[in-house]
Amino acid sequence: MSKFARPRIGITMRIELETDRFYLSRHYSEAVEAAGGLPVHIPLIPEAEFIGATVAGLDGILLPGSDSDVDPLRYGQQPHPQLGAVHPMKDETDLLVLTEVEQRAIPLFAICFGLQVLNVSRGGTLIQDIGSQWPEAIKHQQGAPRDRHSHSVRLLEDSLIRQFARSDHAPVNSHHHQALETLGRELIATAWASDGLVEAVEDPRSDRFVLGVQWHPELGWQRDEFARALFAEFVAEASVFAEKQQTAPSYG
């Protein structure tokens, strides 16, 4: 067992450009803490050495949502007229964290923007604006109240996420104007909205836990059994990772 009672979960922050402040919604840390994890905020300092040293001390990574969009130049596209704000500091930090996650096989839970940047990090592409690029789309920006379930998702048989939901469908909230277009390497789609847009992905490799969802389980988790199950499994995987790190032989 890890010498720490709780696995350490790194959560990348956001940047408020107007005030030059790093910040993060309280709900991510609260959901992680309630599931038994120890939240650790990662400032947006896009330096490889800093990120490597930071991630080396963590047992899991949560990539949260953002009020920005991934720069389309990172996946070979020109900016669409409806592209939102792009924060290079956010993109670069999250991508550096994902490089460390891949190399170390650290458990990863990616939410909304986190799912999108995960996909881009593996060579995938994004729909830059659902409303103008996906004619059959349902409403994916529900507004307030933010924790309300606004549509359902269909879950892939035998997927991890279906096990957590204990059903082939689940109700979710929705706060995004972008979506996955082509999937990146080592990612499979495991949930879809009724309009066909991908709502969740998993990494099929057996030596790691990687789960990304397009909705926001950190909102309303107190009343949502499915959301609590997602956080509980992620933190449990981080605990297993921590134990393996403690018992791994050292050489030197």
Q: Tokens 């403690």 label which residue?
A: 246
Q: Which amino acid is at 233?
A: E
Distance CA 40, CA 62 (A): 10
Helix axes 88-104, 48-56, angle to 10 degrees: 50
Cis bond leading into 145, ω under 30°?
yes
DSSP H or E stretch at residue 226: helix 225-247
For 186, the enclosing helix (H) or strand (E) is none
From residue 223, alpha-carbon distances to 18, 43, 96, 109, 160 in Å are 35, 30, 34, 20, 21
Pick from 105, 27, 10: which is nearest to 63 by CA?
Answer: 10
Confirm if 4 and 246 have CB atoms less than 8 A apart. Answer: no
Segment holding 189, helix H or strand E: strand 188-193
Catalytic residues: 112, 216, 218
Number of Cβ within a 10 Å radius of residue 208 = 17
